[in-house]
Chain A
Amino acid sequence: MTDQLVIALLFLVNLRMFATSRLDSLIRGVALQAFLLVCLAVVSREGALSWEGWTFLSVTGLVKCAVLPVMMTRALRSAGIRREVEPLVGYRVSLFIGLIVTGFSIWAAAQLPMPDGAADPLVVAAALISMITGLFLIVARRKAISQAIGYLAMENGVYVLAPALAVHGPLIVETGVLLDVFVGVFIMGVIILHIRQEFKHIDIDRLSELRD
């Protein structure tokens, strides 16, 4: 029962991320998404967690819900922007796409052949929609910071799915991924600052001169 509530909240948070134009609310969205995913990992697991599990969960929770959002908020503040004014895909269309994606995720999760008892289809659907939300943000938003948030949202989705799919040593796999994303976002923040200093904006579509 609790897990279904968490999943429903996740869907809502994802939809909000589709529709919001304010970057600080996007960051809050991704932090909330991470928090809900950690909760989901706790409630959907059968049996008690070992102390390693608790340690791992609290570390990921800390990094995803606190460290990374704080880092990005700082980057946002130093870059001096507050909202994404001209996205590549408008917010109403984005919301519509979000609805379609939600439906697609639920359908795809029901179809996906899963190892026996590995995961509830709804959990898989939540993971899928988180990943697709991340990818959508990368594709449809202009600001580099939105893209960083997109990568983070995608990683959140992977994070739910990975323990279910990786049979041996899921925690190690997940720790590796987390480290990658942490470093990735860190570098992204540094690059955003540099782009900002160099070009006075962080619109990535103006970087297309670098294509050849």
Chain B
Amino acid sequence: MAFFLLLSLLMYLLSGLASLAMGRHPAWGTRIVPFGSAAASLCALIPVLYVLAGGTPVDLRAAWSLPVGSFHLHLDLLSAWFALPVILVSPIVSFYGTGYLRRHDRPRETDACGFFLQLLTGGMLFVLLASDGLLFLLAWEIMSMSAFFLVVFEHEEHEVQRAGWIYLVATHLGTAFLFAMFVLLGSRCGSFDFGDFDGLGGVADVVFVLAVVGFGAKAGFFGLHVWLPEAHPAAPSHVSGLMSGVMIKTGIYGLLRVMVLANDWPAWWGWVLIGIGIASGLGGVIYALVQHDLKRLLAYSSVENIGIICLGLGMSVFGVHSVGPVALFAMAGALLHVLNHAVFKSCLFLGAGAVIQAVGTREIDLLGGVQKRMPRTAALFLLACAAVCGLPPLNGFVGEFLIYLASYWSVLPQGLPSVNPRVGGFVVISTLALIGGLAAMCFTKVYGAVFLGEPRSGCGSSATDPGRDMSVPVTVLAALCAVFGLGGSLLMLLVASVAARIHPLAMAAPDMAPLREASAVYLNVTLAALVLAAAVYGLWRLRDRLLAGRVVRTGPTWGCGYPHGTPRMQYTGSSFAQPIIAAFRSLLRSELGGDWPAGYLPGRSSFMTHTPGLFMHRFYTPLFAAFARVAVRMRRIQQGGTHVYVFYVVLALVAVLVWSLL
């Protein structure tokens, strides 16, 4: 089995290099990336499925020429579960990318893009497999750096450069915390091997805090999320899909990997995770609602979903110390949402990419009526939108369903020993409900403003559905959304077997019977949703039948009976989100502008909103400006004269000498 893992990693590397080498033969070069990715994924799928099916974890140690660390790969249930989205989504994204980049006509960057895409995917798999602190950091950097080079695909544009720098700084700040964490663990435990980290060297709380910050920067916890809304719009769409859907999950994986090494999960970890969940979930969805840029909106939506996963993890921490299946349900829900978010978010990004490429703008308020020109893309995008809102029977619902169940269980009066799960349950239920409602509003805005109505500008009046090379991958992802949703009952049982073996949960030997019940309940929900869908379809056919043979006149949407309706009569994205901006004004600090209509016969009036990222403008920008000022002042000690530098050396040496003698 270890052979297949190594072969898979090697294939990613080789196909990436081959893509670089094939610069002269673009037809070959572009084909080698997706097919290499597919082959590598198939190779990795064998051991992953073997482990998930209950096989023994795959372990591989190899010679290593560095004096510290070791080459130790380990594929256990947790790694295997997180590897699933990587090997499912990456080949699909690769195939899409080939078609997407072909329309860009930038051969040199396309080759590099193929190379770094393979490196990113291989790097993510490597991160999941690495079982040694130093090896992990190595893999982590391979992944982060290749993502940087993918983000700066259109490197001559100022905005893209800025986004690239923000991403680079954010990822390295996170990595700095991870360095501190692994060095601390290594010095405490005497080795960098994960196997020796049992109990986290007696400093579990410090390690947990470092892990939350370090991995949170990658996962996009609210407050550390600033790179997501910058990098995702800048990157090519398939890269955004892979980064947003899959790469940020490695942050969740890292956090979980550290958590399972602890002896026990203290309750305050749960509160930290739930706090992050609330901030990310609500913050993400509210900011998503007020965005004007389609991909920026999707990026904030990823922050929201990371929040939902954190809520699940937090409930699971509470559940470990209480009876009942709370921990199991919550952990299973969080893990399921990891997989499902990867599928529907990459589907959304790929769909959005197709639209953006066809119409040439990311501004939601310039679009409209895309459905009439790109019906196929619109239908798939709608399906993914429904999934991201958590509507049954699609896959976004499955994970949330389990987290809901865990929270309901913990608030039921059944004599739980601690008050934490009960309060936490209330908080999680209300937060999830609010997030769900706002997410539905957010994606109604997206779909309504982009796809429905009439075109608001001349953008993309000749847009059509993309060819098969781009539409098939989107279709496959949308189909996966439906399949994972409909087969949610089975997925639940699979993920429960993973969750039940996670360290502190496994100690209590969780009872699987409640989960089987929940799975049956979910099956009923699915059936009911299917019946409902069938009923709607039936009514639609009935309407067609009744209208057959009659005169049907269609007018422009929002025409309201006027003979000369204009697209300006429609709701725009801004106007749709205006109530939210008003309600959360204290939180969002949006800039509102325009002339409100006045009088009985108002003249021209307008409305505009702009919502800068609060953390970016109020925290990070001043912080880095302060750093820059200090750095400028520090420049004074760098004068360029050799004798000055020697003077510093002398000072330091004399100081050390005196200090050691005193």
Contacts and interface: CB of A to CB of B under 8 A. Distances in A.
Interface of A: 88, 108, 111-112, 132, 135-136, 138-142, 147, 204-205, 207-212
Contacts of A212: 640
Contacts of B550: none
Given A108-B661, A111-B661, A112-B661, A138 B640 contact: no
B interface, over-half SS: helix
Interface stretch (B103-111, B600-608, B642-650): B642-650
A205 B661 contact: no
Contacts of B640: 207-212
Nearest to A110: B661
B643 A141 contact: yes
Nearest 3 CB-CB pairings of A with B = A211-B640, A208-B640, A111-B661
B647 to A, nearest CB: 4
B639 interface: yes
B641 interface: yes
A140 B638 contact: no
Given A135-B650, A211-B638, A204 B643 contact: yes
A205 B646 CA distance: 13
Contact of A211 (B639, B650, B657, B661): B639
7 contacts: A135-B650, A138-B642, A138-B643, A138-B646, A139-B644, A204-B643, A208-B639
A139 B650 contact: yes
Given A136-B650, A139-B643, A208-B640, 15 more contacts: A88-B643, A111-B661, A132-B650, A135-B650, A138-B642, A139-B646, A142-B643, A147-B643, A204-B641, A205-B643, A207-B641, A210-B640, A211-B638, A211-B639, A212-B640
Contacts of A208: 639-641
B575 to A, nearest CB: 52
Interface of B: 638-644, 646-647, 650, 657-658, 661
A140 B642 CA distance: 11
A88 B642 CA distance: 13
Nearest to A138: B646
A132 B646 CA distance: 12
Contacts of B644: 139
Nearest to A128: B657
A88 B643 CA distance: 10
A211 B639 CA distance: 7
Contacts of A205: 641, 643
Contact of B646 (A108, A111, A135, A209): A135
Contacts of B647: 139
Contact of B657 (A108, A141, A147): A108
A121 B639 CA distance: 38
Contacts of A88: 643
A209 B639 CA distance: 9
A147 B661 CA distance: 29
Given A108-B661, A111-B661, A140 B639 contact: no
Contacts of B638: 211
B193 to A, nearest CB: 38
A209 B640 CA distance: 7
Contacts of B646: 135, 138-139
A205 B642 CA distance: 8
Contact of A204 (B642, B650, B657, B661): B642
B522 to A, nearest CB: 64
Nearest to A107: B661
Contacts of A138: 642-643, 646
A147 B642 contact: yes
Contacts of B657: 108
Contacts of A136: 650
Nearest to A151: B646
A20 to B, nearest CB: 18
B446 to A, nearest CB: 48
Contact of A140 (B643, B658, B661): B643
Contacts of A112: 661
A108 B662 CA distance: 10
A24 B641 CA distance: 24
Nearest to B650: A135
A112 B657 CA distance: 9
A204 to B, nearest CB: 6
Contacts of A111: 661
A146 to B, nearest CB: 10
Nearest to A211: B640
A139 B642 CA distance: 8
A198 B647 CA distance: 27
Which of B638, B639, B643, B661 has most A Cβ within 10 Å? B643
A148 to B, nearest CB: 12
B385 to A, nearest CB: 52
Nearest to B662: A111
A91 B643 CA distance: 17
A142 to B, nearest CB: 8
Contacts of A108: 657-658, 661
A138 B658 CA distance: 21
A140 B644 CA distance: 9
B640 to A, nearest CB: 3
A2 B639 CA distance: 46
Contacts of B643: 88, 138-142, 147, 204-205
Contacts of A210: 640
B625 to A, nearest CB: 22
A185 to B, nearest CB: 16
Contacts of B641: 204-205, 207-208
A203 to B, nearest CB: 10
Contacts of A211: 638-640
B649 to A, nearest CB: 8
Contacts of A135: 646, 650
B151 to A, nearest CB: 28
A205 B640 CA distance: 8
Name, among A138, A142, A207, the residue most crowded by chain B CB atoms within 10 Å (CB to CB): A138
A169 B642 CA distance: 34
A211 B657 CA distance: 29
Which among B639, B641, B644 has the greatest number of chain A C-beta atoms within 10 A? B641
A147 B642 CA distance: 10
A152 to B, nearest CB: 14
Contacts of B639: 208, 211
A142 B641 CA distance: 10
Contacts of B661: 108, 111-112
B634 to A, nearest CB: 14
A208 B650 CA distance: 20
Nearest to B646: A138
- Among A135, A140, A147, which residue has the most Cβ atoms of chain B within 10 A? A135
B660 to A, nearest CB: 9
B643 to A, nearest CB: 5
A17 B657 CA distance: 24
Of A112, A139, A147, which is in contact with the most chain B CB atoms at under 10 Å from its CB? Answer: A139
